[in-house]
Chains A and B, each alone.
Chain A
Amino acid sequence: MKIDLTVNGRAASGEVEARTLLVDFLREQLRLTGTHVGCDTSQCGACVVMVDGKSVKSCTMLAIMAAGCDVTTIEGLANGAELHPMQQAFMDNHGLQCGFCTPGMVMSGLDIVNRHGRDLDAATVRRELNGNICRCTGYQNIVKSIREGARAMGD
């Protein structure tokens, strides 16, 4: 089946099977490998992308369901060599160790800002991150990064 959609602001299209997951379409056909598959069971959040401005787990959505949608992946955030403020905050705050979960953490961080604004308390961030799992850091610096990234998005 042919699908047409917008990915990171550009028109994209491809030939998919009905059963092709959105994450597999992004990674294997568009070669946007920043979106990761951690658990493949909708729990870890490494595959979170924005679909029409809302965070979704791209391992739990068919590619064909995203036909006509506007998809943003981690690759769509930076402005050339200049990182998005949320990405920069993860870098500045050591908000990662192995980095595998980080694309999903950054996308979920942006989703938190969309819904709760830029002045975030730690409890809100921790509650809203309950669909993103990190097995390295213990979350302290991830929470710090998201709070600082949120603040920096207004600058």
Chain B
Amino acid sequence: MVGYLNLILRLGIWFLLTADLSLANILIGIFVALILPQSYKNKGALKDWLKALSETLIAIPQAYMEALEIIIRPHNYEAIIMEQVRPNRTPGLIFLDIFVITFTPKTIVLKYHEKGQYEVHHVQRRKKS
């Protein structure tokens, strides 16, 4: 099932790039999407992928909210917090997690430790001891 998701993603980018829905272009797009290499091991569950994708969509309005918060009330203090990675994450899902955390303006992932922790940099309004 995740393979289909992958295929849809590639086809979507292809059609956005070419902006052409003729039969020949659709066939070329499907051919290119199938011929590109993909990894067969360790794909992760479909449910996890759908959840991660919906989190990515939610992250967009959330990012604007956080931006407004930072603008209206200055956040002047910085802190580094370790966060636990959820269990059973494949590399693709970890990439999406890091993307979501870094996309929102209050938090940036500094480093991903192999043992299963993110080092996240926050801006805060008050100093936390």
Decide whether A and B are members of one complex: no
